[in-house]
Amino acid sequence: RWNEEWHEELLSISLLEKGPLQRKELKKRIRRIQTNEHHGDRNYDRWIRKLIERELIEKHDRVLRLTGLGEWIRKSKLGSLFERDSFLESFICKKCSRLPNVVLLTPLLDTINVNRINAKGQIWVDLRCPKCKIVDTHGLSFSKDKLVKFYKQAVVELKQFVNLEAQGI
């Protein structure tokens, strides 16, 4: 049975929840779990680099560990690992956020047009940064009601892991 934790990036987060690991050891453990998948070192390095760039993991003296954002993805019971990861990818202002300070984009609910759905079944919504006021449009795989519920709960939970700046909706 397929398991969402087997995706390399999310699997990395799951493995690091148990404690810090050296890059080499993390790659070794991923390979051990994914017995049917054979990826080169470059692929693993790319996935790890992406997690570092997104500030989900951090590296100190060749040791990788989860950041507060990575801990939230792993420990929260809100939605699935994929939904939490996707939420952070879409809702963090890349311009204004630097750990431990995270600025969450606010969904402008009046911009949701339920008649405008893309081929993946995603609704489109404008998101605005409460700090720099930049507006960006994202396709989200949530209904409007689920988006509101997810966003509100994520704001409550994320405050336990990072210094969060977010507006209510």
Examine the domain organization and report whether 90 and 159 are in the same domain: yes
Structure confidence at residue 154 (pLDDT): 98
Query: Quick one: which of 141, 33, 21 has its CA closest to 8?
Result: 33
Domain boundary among 14, 38, 66: 66
Examine the domain organization and report whether 84 and 155 are in the same domain: yes
Domain that holds residue 138: 77-165
Domains: count for the chain: 2
What mean pLDDT, rounded, does the chain reach?
Answer: 88
Residue 72 counted as domain residue = no
Examine the domain organization and report whether 107 and 160 are in the same domain: yes
Structure confidence at residue 42 (pLDDT): 85
Structure confidence at residue 64 (pLDDT): 96
Domain boundary among 12, 33, 66: 66
pLDDT category of residue 6 using cuts at 50, 70 and 90: low
Examine the domain organization and report whether 103 and 149 are in the same domain: yes
Structure confidence at residue 34 (pLDDT): 74
Tens of pLDDT, residue by residue over 74-127, are 999 999 888 999 999 999 999 999 999 999 999 999 998 777 777 777 788 999
Structure confidence at residue 51 (pLDDT): 93
Structure confidence at residue 40 (pLDDT): 76
Residue 71 counted as domain residue = no
Residue 83 counted as domain residue = yes
pLDDT category of residue 38 using cuts at 50, 70 and 90: low
Predicted TM-score (pTM) of this structure: 0.86
DSSP annotation of 56 reads: S
Examine the domain organization and report whether 56 and 14 are in the same domain: yes
Examine the domain organization and report whether 26 and 92 are in the same domain: no
Percent of the chain exceeding pLDDT 70 equals 94
Segment (H or E) for 140:
strand 135-140
Examine the domain organization and report whether 59 and 83 are in the same domain: no
Examine the domain organization and report whether 92 and 151 are in the same domain: yes
Q: Could you tell me the CA-to-CA distances from 148 to 50, 107, 158 in Å, in that order?
A: 28, 9, 15
Examine the domain organization and report whether 62 and 102 are in the same domain: no
pLDDT at 1 over 60: no
- Is 128 buried (19+), middle (13-18) or exposed (0-12) by CB count in 10 A? middle
